[in-house]
Structure 1
């Protein structure tokens, strides 16, 4: 079945951020996310999930283990399990990106301080 933002399961997080489940199963998760200006997720890590963040539009900051990495469109970063990270939009435009998790990150998130 063909999948897109228009027919994917949609959810909101952080009050104003959007996510669309493009693939959602235990082995693999692919989510298209949108973060408005001045939003961020909480810093966390995953015990098992390996993730890949890939920016589609806008400019995102991905903080990985204390290092801030600027991601422009068509750039991405792989995050190994147990690595603290946080996606941040401190730019002046919305950011849209893919987050791919293997296995799914559902129920595998541990919040960290920082």
Structure 2
């Protein structure tokens, strides 16, 4: 395995860890809101969707910044692996496939992670020289 491939794998792994860490934190916060207030889950639908997109964008950003090049590919791989993990959870845990709506969401997740990867390379990836 060459160094470039290893660097890409590490970058994608950091992005995935960032996604799952942010997902756990946001899920915890939202569950506390649902538990201790009279807010219903349907009232938070837009906020949950926004958190999801921000989380995937951040994961793509981290992977692009860590990889320092090919941000679209690193972000796309990060989003794709996230979607694969969620799909396997649904399929193996609940014995169901994605609905058409979920396929659209996960396609958008991959695209937003790609955008995060591109921005991550452009803002964090370039070495700054004086």
Shorter chain as denominator, the TM-score bin is under 0.3
TM-score (norm 1): 0.26
Structure with a larger share of its residues in strand: 1
Larger radius of gyration: 2
